[in-house]
Amino acid sequence: MKVGFIGLGTMGASMAYNCLQGGNEMVVHDIRRESATQHLEAGAVWADSPREVAEATEIVFTSLPGPVEVEAVGLGDDGILEGMSEGKVYFDLSTSTPTLIRRIHEQAAARGIHVLDAPVSGGPRGARTRNLAIWVGGDREVYDRCKPVLDSIGDKAYYVGPIGCGAIAKLVHNCTGYIVQAALAEVFTMGVKAGVEPLALWQAVRKGAQGRRGTFEGLAEHLLPGNFDPPDFALRLARKDVDLAVGVGREYDVPMRLAQLTLQEMTEAVNRGWGHRDSRVAMLLQEERAGVEVRADQAALNAALEEERGG
């Protein structure tokens, strides 16, 4: 298949090279021509603009820094849509916004052009080794038809839903990671300042329930099915533990902002009369504030869990 690739930075260079090595013909473009040296040496063809890439190929991929660049390359003068004709496909691999990709999709769809958002996760090493998740939003039939090309870029291409859903999944994933990072910094500084050697603390925590479980396992067990009774661990007991941790932070002059916020959330849930329910029942408070329920059909959830376990 004839593939276009725009954006040959830290991630894009490796993804484009792997796609080229996967047997696809390739046309490339970047604001720095020297970024394409290895691709041109491997048989790719250079184009002077995003429009020229789109004119010369069947599928175009972009890997760009953010929404400003995506909008300029997609919708600007000499941009991708100016060079595309009916039936062609555009995948944006950038971390961008669902609102922008939906706007690009709307303008493209009026001309019979397919647009899908497909942000990736795995970092530079994953891009080099093809150990890369690709979260795709858009037309399912187009995704299925183009999946062999996606598989040449990453080993975990996954269809999430309609246009914009890939971008949303990426933002949920990344934001979760950095919130957890901030929480870990908070509690580990408390633990070390209170007297535990850092490596010993890390090893101890790794052996506990939270250390052995994935971040999202509690969602599958409790929030997604809406199952908070009977409790695995009662909210009133969990609140007591967080209160004790906040107390240690106070004793050793360690700021515990996230823990304080968590304690407030758990206290509100206890005051609702939920103290005897599973500790994750406090998540219902955020559902109320957001005006949405985070639920999945139990049978579909079980099937997804079996797939994750390789069953």
Q: Which residues are known to be catalytic?
A: 170
Structure tokens that stand for 200 in this block: 């010993």
- Distances 30 to 3, 9, 52, 259, 299 between C-alpha atoms, Å: 15, 8, 12, 45, 46
Output the DSSP codes for 83-137: H--TT-EEEE-S---HHHHHHHHHHHHTTT-EEEE--EESHHHHHHHT--EEEEE
* DSSP category for residue 224: T
Q: Distance between CA atoms of 56 and 35, rounded to whole angstroms?
A: 20
CB-CB contact of 266 with 238 (8 Å)? yes
Structure tokens that stand for 290 in this block: 């957001």
